[in-house]
Structure 1
Amino acid sequence: MGVALYQAKAEFFRMLGHPVRIRVLELLQAGPTPVRDLLAELEIEPSSLSQQLAVLRRSGIVTASREGSTVVYALAGAEVADLLRTARRILTGLIDDRNVLLAELRAASE
């Protein structure tokens, strides 16, 4: 693989590297969601959500459509949901490994 491909991958993961963006993507796994519902779930300022949605939209990972005066966001493809599920499995494994180590450390100090 060329350097440009690694750079593109790095930019993709950097785009995912914000807690609000990850939460938005997780919420969108349930299906297309109006901005007002995202705001209610996230409990952040509208301007903050707007910034994060713009990053996701520019990257092509989400789509936006208008239904009357309401803007509705959706995942651009099922692969995004697959990626989030994979990330949860990896994170769960890492946490489980740390919990085992922590239990062993506690047992050794007793």
Structure 2
Amino acid sequence: MLGHPVRIRVLELLQDGPKPVHELLGEIGVEASNLSQQLAVLRRSGIVVSVRERSTVRYALAGGDVADLLRTARQILTVMLAERGEVLEQLRRAQEDEPDPLPASR
């Protein structure tokens, strides 16, 4: 359910409070049908709720726990990416320290 970038972006935007669909469309920049599908997945899972106000549909996080979940996930991913960056840097340094396997022929 959290494996799609549009859904994650929607959840991030909704942390600031309820938003109408047209505002989400403007912020995310996807086709309306794509956003509608992703919002339906989030609604069915119980993570977001929708409220119709005349012709406008507003979406909101179902509760504060969802915002907590997003903050925790962001912290975990930040640590994971930092660790991977450190490993990549170590590999680059090790590669620079190795002698050239094919010396240039003269």
> Is TM more than 0.5 here?
yes
Match of 1:92 in 2: 78
Say which of 57, 61, 67 aligns to 1:75.
Answer: 61
Letter of the structure 1 residue corresponding to residue 63 of structure 2? G
Give the TM-score of the pair, scaled to structure 2. 0.86
Match of 2:11 in 1: 25
CA distance in 1, matches of 2:70, 2:76: 10
- CA RMSD in angstroms comes to 0.9
Say which of 29, 35, 41 aligns to 1:49.
Answer: 35
Give the TM-score of the pair, scaled to structure 1. 0.83
CA distance in 2, matches of 1:81, 1:100: 29
Please list every run of at least 4 consecutive aligned residues from structure 1 whose deviation after the TM superposition is greater than 6 angstroms.
Answer: none
Match of 1:65 in 2: 51
Q: Could you say which structure has the larger radius of gyration?
A: 2
Deviation at 1:68, TM superposition (A): 2.1
SS in 2 for 1:16: coil
Task: Structure 2 unaligned segments of length 5 or more: list them.
Answer: 97-106
Task: Structure 1 unaligned segments of length 5 or more: list them.
Answer: 1-14
Q: Over residues 42-96 of structure 1, what are the superposed CA-to-partner deviations in whole Å (9 max), with x where a residue is unaligned?
A: 1111111111111111111101011221110000001111111111111111111
Aligned length: 96
Between structures 1 and 2, the one with greater helix share? 1
Deviation at 1:105, TM superposition (A): 1.2
CA distance in 2, matches of 1:18, 1:99: 23
